[in-house]
Amino acid sequence: MSQHLSKLCIQAEKKLAQLGQKRQDSHLSVQLNQQQHQALSQMISAYRGTKEGTNVLLWKNACGMVQVLEPMQVKLAQKSEFLQQEQLRIDRLWQKQLGRQQGLRWFEKQTHLQNEARVARREQSVLDDMAGFYYKKKNV
């Protein structure tokens, strides 16, 4: 039984490591998306800051760029929502797996301690029987 329990513990640790990697990758994706969103927002603000009175062609190009960049910003916002939900989902899976792994480790340790106690009781019983045998033999 202890071999099976050890295998389960190893499997739980591997699964936890895999989920930990997914968790880290998800976190990085969310950060990258936020950086892209911020850069896009800054670009839109810069193009909107172009004054009408400067140059008509420059102003027209700036308006065209804003019209191109705004849908990209909307898509990034949608992607951000999806990535955050995915990150929460992976976090919950990781936490559940962490609980399983810790529970299995605790159970394995308890089983080991119980086995050691059982062996110690058997050894003590054998020693008690031997002591009783020699005591009887000595007194006879």
Q: pLDDT tens digit string along 14-33?
A: 999 999 999 999 999 999 99
Q: Calculate mean pLDDT across residues 110-139.
A: 87
pTM above 0.75? no
Tell which wins on pLDDT, 58 or 136.
Answer: 58
CA 42 to chain centre: 33
pLDDT of residue 20: 96
The answer to whether 95 and 76 have CB atoms below 8 angstroms apart is no
Average pLDDT, the chain: 91
**Cα separation, 4 vs 116, whole angstroms:** 18
Q: What is the pLDDT of residues 45-75, one digit of tens each?
A: 988 887 766 688 888 888 899 999 999 999 9
Q: Calculate mean pLDDT across residues 110-116.
A: 93
Q: Where would I find the H helices in the chain?
A: 2-48, 56-139
